[in-house]
A and B are shown apart, each in its own frame.
Chain A
Amino acid sequence: MRVFHDTWLVFRRSLGLTVRQPAWLVAGVMQPFVYLLLFGPLLNSLSSMPGFPAGGAFNTFVPGLLVMTALFGSTFVGFGFISEMRSGVIERMRVTPMSRTAAVLGRTLRDVLVFMFQGMVLVVLSIPLGLHIDPAGLVVAFALLALIGLVLGPVSYAMALVIGSEDALAPLTQAIALPLLLLSGIMLPMSFAPEWLRTIASFNPLYHSVLAIRALFNAQFADPNVLSGIGIMVACAVLSIGVASRVFNRATA
């Protein structure tokens, strides 16, 4: 099928270009690592408070940091795409029979691979600090992270294609990413939040992902948050890829 063939081509090309600049891989790990080192200890003393989720500070905090890595690893990808637009690469490829969906999917899969690698580094670094993980839970948790990338990446690429300039894309991306981040219970557990804030958070798909990953790390596969977290993300990914494909197809006249 053309779409798989072309997705693979775009994926390989963009991964090759990313690997040539390993600084980005390191930069992506730095931020969550700083949180881990400087913010994690604060949570450690909170973890004995009533209402704190089970599993201890790092089992609560690291899932949040992983979701944050996925969030930043896929909401800002549009900027790289704009520089590709500027170089004329995107237009050149539009005058080929290339699948338009592949243009989005190939790049998104590259982004997913990059932040999963960063996430894995983060997990390994967290184990000596007190993270306990169930191996099977880890695998499912990373599958869920990949889904987050498939939801957010296509949105970022479609916005970049339509907007076409960094100046306009930056504030819009911030306006989307920041509430998603704050309403996902990444920094502090949402169980500390007042009722109304929790209600709003429940509309944030990422909030459910964080809950699901926490349960998975603690090997609580039967926790209803696991199924709902994954189900919500699958639905969002289908929607997001569908919409982005439409945007790319239409822009191509």
Chain B
Amino acid sequence: MSDLVIETEGLRRTFGKKGDIVEAVAGVDLRVEAGTIFGFLGPNGAGKTTTLRILATLLLPTAGIARVAGRDVARDPEAVRRRIGYVAQSGGTDPRMSGRGELVMQGRLFGLPGPDAHVRAAELLEALDLADAGDRPIETYSGGMRRRLDVGLGMVHRPVVLFLDEPTTGLDPQARARMWDEIRGLRDGGTTVFLTTHYLDEADALCDRLAIIDHGRIVAGGTGPELKRAVAGDVITIGVDSSAELVRQLLAAQPFVREASLVDGVVRLYVADGEASLPLVLRLLDGQGLAPQTLALHRPSLDDVFLRQTGRSLRDAA
């Protein structure tokens, strides 16, 4: 059993005044083990950022408890701040400053003496491949460079946990792959990384463990493979141009179909054995004179997990 670096119980946060209350986080329980990349997956507005901001001491919870690096975020925010790094979705640098200037400032705010802050800044610029750009104003940086600098700012004081809010949103595919490597490197160096994302592939490829959040509640949690296994079996998608509901009803009544749903004109079947079921599906549809336009078999994805739990596709929700 590893140490728990983040632990929450019944975490809630509401916004607004009486009569018009929005519950952004509606009872979240999280357990994040040390040395992992933990992904918080959900559509925009699901409560990811609000939860992250509570954990990073920027917001007080309305109810519930959150402990980060062994300290209570509400009772001892100062101790939490010393142990965490936080990178907001929009970053946090002044475009007129140089990368080095920001890193030194950040180090000094965490109490490093001047010379040490300069050494640490040079170290990070080197590690993040920003050494050549270190003395240029940040407004001349590319999106990927700026994002790497943001991560560097979060790492200046070697935190126990690094919080990254949507670390790759807006990055081109190359910069994105680059960022994934950086994040894995941090994990391998012993830092726990807690990140939010609405990208399925990012959650799948990068995160050791996941929690899926929707409408302020966690709807599923575990490793990627565990989550997908829970969906059980395979998914068959059938595209039909008309009478989609008829097709769904017809197939839902079959014993080999565990569940049939209709999303955007596409019928999704959850079946135990995809290969064996495909011919059966075709024969049934043929018998009714229904010709499918497309027919595909997939192993379940995280989107299927999300779909099973919420009835919506994450691709549409996000």
Interface of A with B (CB < 8 Å)? Answer: 6, 9, 13, 16-17, 20, 84, 87-89, 91-98, 252-253
Contacts and interface: CB of A to CB of B under 8 A. Distances in A.
Given A6-B109, A95-B81, A97-B81, A88 B88 contact: yes
Contacts of B105: 9, 13
A87 B153 CA distance: 14
5 contacts: A9-B108, A16-B101, A87-B94, A92-B88, A92-B92
Nearest to B54: A253
Contacts of B85: 95
B56 interface: yes
Contacts of B50: none
B95 A87 contact: yes
B15 interface: no
B194 to A, nearest CB: 13
By DSSP majority rule, is chain A's interface helix, strand, loop, or mixed?
helix
B109 A9 contact: yes
Contacts of A89: 92-94
A105 B175 CA distance: 39
A253 B57 contact: yes
B96 A20 contact: yes
A95 B56 contact: yes
Contacts of B84: 95
B96 A95 contact: no
Contact of A97 (B93, B94, B97, B109): B109
B177 to A, nearest CB: 24
B258 interface: no
Contacts of A91: 58, 88, 92
B91 interface: yes
A98 B88 CA distance: 18
Interface in B52-104: 56-60, 74, 77-78, 81-82, 84-86, 88, 90-97, 101
A253 B77 CA distance: 8
Contact of A96 (B91, B93, B106): B106
